[in-house]
Structure 1
C-alpha cells in the first residue's frame, strides 16, 4: 500500500494553501480585501508553524540517532556527553517531586555519601511552556486556602512559583513530547551543594572559603529511569583556587561532589492526612490555610508511611505493602543481623497500632542503587571527619506528610570509637589522644551544627565516652581485663538501640528526652521490668549506658525494643482511623 510521509503531506498542504490563497486574492478587490488579507496572514502563519514543527520532527530523528535511551517516568536520551529529557505534552503543568542528595562526598564538612540536601520535604516541581522555552519551576506548597475559592485566588496572586531552570525545545517526538537539552541544568549548582563545598574550602580562620562551580571538570555520570522515577547522577567539581582543605580531597583546588537527582511521580491518590497533636512527638508537615477562621492559620499533619489494610490476622491487619528497609552492601557482616533485628523490633509498636508484620528489613538487591528512592536503605559510611554517629532523615509528600523514602547513614567511626575508646584510655601511650577524642576537642571530631538531619553536635563523642565508661566499670567489676574488647552483648544492645533510634526518626518520631526519668531507680537492672517497658520508655531518648554498681547484678545496658512511649506514639500515627487515634 502506498503511504505518504508526514513531510510529503505537509508539503502538499502548504502548496494547496498557497494556490487557494492566490486564487482568492485574484478575485477579491484590494480596497475591500482586509478580511481576506487577515485570513491570509493567519493561514500563512499556521503553515510556517507547521513547517517549523516538521523541522523539529526531523530534528528528533537526527538527535536520537545513536543515543542511549532510558525510558521511564521521563524518557532520557544520552549522546556525546549531552543529556536530553522528553516532557510529554499532556504533562506540562503537572506536578512531580524532585529530590537531591550526595551520592559521593568527601567524608567531611557535611559532604557525606547519602546525605540529603534538603531534610524532610522533597521539592514540588513542574514543567511549564512559556513561548519558545520550557521552564522547570518549583511550586510553593506551604500556603493555600482549602475551603474558600476567593481566598485561594488571593493566595495565588500573593505566592508564586520560582523558575529554577529554562531550556529551548530541541525537538518534538512523533507523540508530541517536547525534547529538551538538560545537560546544563544538572551540570550546575542546581542542588545548592555549593554552600557546603565553600565550607569545605574554609581557611584556618574557620570562615567559609571560595569555591565556584567548574563546568569544564564536571560531567553526567549516569542515568536511569523507571515507571515512577527518573534518576540523574552528576559529578560536579568546585574550584577553590587554593591548596589545602579537607585531607580526604586529593587536590584541594578541585573539590569533587557527585549529586544524585531524582524526579519522582506524586502518589496518584494522596494519602489521608492525620491531624498532628503536639503532645505526641511526631514530625509534622505544616500548611498555612488562609481560608481558616480559627485562631490559627496553621494545619499540622503527622509524617507517616502509608499502610493499607490487607488480610486479617486475629484482631490485627497485615498491610498490603509493609514498610521495608534495605541493608546496604556496605554494612559489615558482624552488624547485619543486629541491623535487621533493630528494624523488625519496631513490629511490637505497630502491633499496638493494630498491625502485624508491618515493618521488615531485607538485603539490598545486588542490582539496586541505594540512591534510588524506591529503596529505603541503611547505609554504612566511613568518613575522614564525620562529626556525627548516625543520621536518619526521611522525605515526605509535601501535600499530605506521607513518608516516601528514608535513608539512614551510620558512621563507621562511631562504632569504632564506642568499641575502642576505653582500650585507648587504659593504654597510657594513647590516653591523651583518647580524651581529646571523647571530649571532641582534638582533630578526631568536628561536629557541624549545620549538617542537615544530624543528631545534636557532640552526641557522637558522648557515645564514645559511654563505651569508655562501660569498659572501665566492667573492668572494675572484674568482668573485663584491661585491653579486652567490650562484650558482644553490650555491642549488640548498643547497636540495636542506635539503629532503632534512627529508624524511629524515619517512622516519624521526634526525640523524647524525658523518657529516661520514667523508670524507677530500683528497677533499672530488673530485666523482667525493662524487657517489658524498656530501660527508659523510648528508644528516641539520648540515653547513657545502664551500668550496675558494685555488688549489683547487671541488667540491660540499653533499651533494645520499643518502649511504652514508642508504642503510644506509633499508635497515634498509624492506628487505622483518626477516631481510634484520638482515643
Structure 2
C-alpha cells in the first residue's frame, strides 16, 4: 500500500491558513505592524553572526545548511549565504516531513516513520526575515524561454509556510573574492513548530472533534538534530489539544484531550544533474507524478506524466534497510522477501545492484539518505504502505519508505489457525511447501510477499491486480492463499494441499515492468523499447489492471480483482467454498492458540466464515463484465464477457446463497460464547453479545446480493443486452428471476427443517431490501430502477399469499414502498454488517488503501 499526496492541494491550502494564523505570515507582503522603515532599522540593528554566537554560546553543526543550536534557549538557527538567499530566486531545497513518534491507531493513520509530502522550498531574504515559500511545481513551461516561464509561474500561487526572523547578519563589506560572503542567521522555530504533516486535520476528521496545535507546548528537540553534507535532519515535539477529545483520536493518549507527537523535518540539497526523467507508460505499471506543461506543442497533451524511479548507478548498489526494532523470525523474513528484487536489478543490467540489510546501529530511520522498511506498532491492525519520496520536478525517488503494521502478521497467522488448526497436524495435510505447513510458517511466507510488495511500491511500481490470473506473475498483486482440498468437504479422509499457498520470488510481470522503468536506453530508443515490451506482454498474455479498474465493487474487468487466485475465478470460488466448508466442519477448540479465551473463537471464526468473500467478488465481476486493455493504441475494443461465461459465473455466485453455505454447523454454534467486548472482528448479531448464526447468514447474503446487484454492474448488463442480438443474452430481468428462484426454490420440500426455512426467509428479506435499495438509488439508471420496481410489483402477490409472518412483513414493506409519496425514494438500511474485509480488516475506505493514494500525486 502506498501512502502519498492524493489530497495534497487541499492539504497545502489548509496548512497555509493554519501556519499563517500562528506565525504572522503575510504571503510575501508587508504585515500591518511592520513598516518598511522598521524593517530597515531591524536590519541595521542586527548583531553580526560572530557576536551573536559568542554571546549566546550557540554551537555550530556543519552540514548542507549549517545549523547553530542554543541548548539553553532551546533554539536552532540556520546559517544562510546572503548572496544565495538574497538573490531573486532565493535558495531552493527540498523539505521532507514525517512523524518520528506516531499516534498508533490505524483509523487515524498517523504512524511512526510515515512520511508526508515533499515540498520544493525556496528561502528568500526579505529585509529582516527569510520567508519559506513552497514553489508550485504543478504548472510549468519547461521548454519555454524565460518570459514564458515567468508568465506561467505568475499565473499560479505559491505558499508561504513561515516567516523566519533574522537574528544576526554579517556586514555586506565581508563579501570579497577571497573570503566567504556575508551570512545571516535565521530562527527555524516558526517553520519547524508548525503542523506540516496535517496532524490536527487527521485527528479532527476521524471523530469530528476539533484538535489544534498548542504552540506554547511544542518545541524543537535539540538533541535530535543531525547535519550531513547533503541533508539536515530535525525533530520537534508537537502537542495537540481538544476540548472534545473522544473516540479513536483520544484512544492511544495517556491524557484525554491532549497528545504529543514528534514531527521530523529533513532539509535536503536538490539532487545533482544527471538524472534522466522517464515518461510514464501507464499500462506498464509505473507510479507517476503529473504536471501541466504550457510550453508543449499544441498537438501534445498538456498534462505531462513522469515515472517515479530511483537513480541507479552501475557499481553502486541500491540498499534497503530493515528496522532494528523488528524481531526475529520476522526480521529474517523481511530481508529475504525484499531481497527478491535483486533478480530484477540483475536482469535489467545491474548485477549486484540491490541489497537488503539491517539498519546500522545508531542510524535514524527517518534520515532521508536511507531507504527503510519500518516495523510499526498500532493499537489495532491495519494496512501496510510503501511510500516513494520523490523530487517533484523530475520523479527521482530520493527515499524508499515502507511502513509494515506489526499486527498484520498476527492476523495472517489467525487465518491459517482458523483453516488448519493451531498445530496443523501433518496427518491432515497432503503436501507442504518448503516454508512449512503450520500457521506461523505460513504467516511468515505471507510477510515475505508483503515485504516484496511494499518495497515494489518504493521502487516505483503500482498494483497489478490482474497478475494472479496468469500464473501469480507479480508481487504487486494482493495474494490470496491457495489451498487445495483433496477429498470431499467433511470427509475424515479429506486432506489439505499446502504446497502452493504462496508464490516465491518476483514474477514475470515484475521483471518486465522493472525493465521498462530501469533499463538504460540510448537516446531516441525509448519508444521502440516500450513497443517491444508491450508486444512481449501481449504475447505472454500479461494484462495490467490497477486500483481504478479493480477496487470499486462495480468495476468491470473480470480479471481485475483483489485477494483472488487463478485464471478461472468460478472454479476457484468452488474450491474456496470446499476448503471453507471443510474447515467449518472441523472448527473447534483446536483452532485457539494457547492462552486464548473461549470468546476468542469469534475472532477466529470471522475470517473463516467469510473466507470466500474475495473469490466471490472475483467471480461476480464476470456478470456484466467486460475485458479491455490500458494500451493507448486502442487496437482492441471493449469485449463483453461471453454469455455462457457470465451464466456460469452467476450459477457459482448464487451457490453462496444456498442455506448449507449460509449456515454454520451445529457443532460450531454449540461452542460459541457471548462476546460483550467490542473488537474489530465482532460478528453481526441481533442478540447483542450472543452468537447469532442467522445474523451472520444475513450479512453473507447481503454480501452476495451487493455484488450481483451493484448499480454499475446491472446497468452494464442492460447495455450489453441492448447491443446484442444473441438468443442467449443475459439481461437484468433474467438475473432477478434467477435470484428469486434461489430465494423461493421450487424443489424445496415442504418438510424442510425450521433452520432451512429461516435461512430462506432471510435470503428473501435480503433480496427485497436489495431491490428497494437499488430502485431507490439516485445513481441508478431509469432502466435499472424500473426493472427493480417491476420485480417488486411481481413479488407482492406472492408475498401476500404466503402465510408465514416473515412473508407478511416483507409484503407490508413492499406495499409501503410502492405507495410512497412522490419523491420519497429513501433506500432501506442494511440491518447487519460483516466484519471489515481485506483479510487484515481496517474499516478504511478503499481510496485510503495500499497504493491508491500515490499512484498519481495529483488530487483525484
TM-score by length of 1: 0.73
2:239 corresponds to 1:254 = no
Where in structure 1 are there 5+ consecutive unaligned residues?
A: 1-44, 203-207, 309-318, 424-467, 520-535
Whether 1:141 and 2:125 are equivalent positions in the alignment is no
Across the two proteins, how many residue pairs are aligned to each other? 453
> Given the alignment, which residue of 375, 387, 390 partners 1:396?
390
Gaps of 5+ in 2: 1-36, 175-179, 431-435, 488-495, 533-860
Distance in 2 of aligned mates of 1:243 and 1:302: 42
**d(CA) in 2 for partners of 1:550, 1:473:** 19
Cα deviation digits, residues 519-559 of structure 1 (max 9, x gap): 3xxxxxxxxxxxxxxxx011111121011221685432112
User: Residue 570 and residue 78 in structure 1: after superposition, are their counterparts in 2 closer, same or farther (change >3 A)?
Assistant: same
Change (3 A) 1:233 1:479: same
Between the aligned partners of 1:295 and 1:256, the Cα distance in structure 2 is 49
Q: Which structure has greater helix proportion?
A: 2
Q: Is 1:413 paired with 2:440?
A: no
The secondary structure found in structure 2 opposite 1:279 is: helix
* In 2, Cα distance between equivalents of 1:268 and 1:412: 37
**Aligned twin of 2:330:** 335
Does structure 1 retain, via aligned residues, the 8 Å contact 2:429–2:498? no
Tell me which residue corresponds to 2:564. none
Equivalents in 2 of 1:554, 1:76: separation in Å? 58
Inter-partner Cα distance in structure 2 for 1:171 and 1:563: 58
1:240–1:348: structure 2 CA closer, same or farther, 3 Å change rule?
same
**Deviation at residue 420 of structure 1 after TM alignment:** 3.0
SS in 1 for 2:283: coil
Q: Mean Cα displacement is larger for which, 551-560 or 86-95?
A: 551-560
Q: 1:89 aligns with which of 82, 90, 97?
A: 82
Deviation at 1:77, TM superposition (A): 1.8
Does the CA contact (< 8 Å) of 2:133 and 2:160 recur in 1? yes
Map of 1:439 onto structure 2: none
Shift of 1:362: 1.2
Matched, 1:215 2:165: no
Say if 2:309 and 2:460, in contact at 8 Å, map to a contact too.
yes
> 2:481 aligned to 533, 536, 545, which one?
545
Q: Which residue, out of 148, 162, 167, partners 2:164?
A: 167
Q: Say whether the 8 Å CA contact 1:377–1:407 is kept in structure 2.
A: yes
Are 1:355 and 2:350 an aligned pair? yes
Structure 2 contact 139–292 (Cα < 8 Å) conserved: yes
Q: Deviations over 1:342-362 (max 9, x none)?
A: 122112222221221121111
Indicate how the Cα distance of structure 1 residues 565 and 471 shifts in structure 2: closer, same or farther if over 3 A, else same. Answer: farther
Matched, 1:364 2:316: no
**Counterpart mapping for 1:503-522 below 5 A:** 503-519=455-471
Partner of 2:727: none
Question: Is the contact made by 2:348 and 2:515 (CA closer than 8 Å) also made in structure 1?
Answer: yes
Distance 1:477 1:573, change over 3 A: farther
User: For residues 57 and 405 of structure 1, do their structure 2 counterparts lie closer, same or farther at Cα, with a shift above 3 Å needed?
Assistant: closer
Matched with 2:111 is 112
What is the TM-score of this pair, normalised by structure 2?
0.50
SS in 1 for 2:485: coil
Structure 1 segment 157-556 matched on structure 2, within 5 A: 157-173=154-170, 175=180, 176-199=182-205, 202=207, 208-221=208-221, 222-242=224-244, 244-245=246-247, 246-293=250-297, 294-308=299-313, 319-388=314-383, 390-423=384-417, 468-469=418-419, 478-479=428-429, 486-487=438-439, 489-519=441-471, 536-550=472-486, 553-556=497-500
- 2:66 corresponding residue in structure 1: 75
Q: Distance in 1 between matches of 2:169 and 2:274?
A: 32
Contact 2:47 2:167 in 1 (8 A): no
1:577 is matched with 521
CA distance in 2, matches of 1:193, 1:321: 37
Partner SS for 1:268: coil
Flag the 1:159–1:477 CA change in 2: closer, same or farther, 3 A.
Answer: farther
Bigger fraction of residues in strand: 1
CA distance in 2, matches of 1:51, 1:360: 52
- 1:60 and 2:65 correspond: no
Distance 1:55 1:511 in 2: 56
1:427 aligned residue: none
RMSD: 2.7
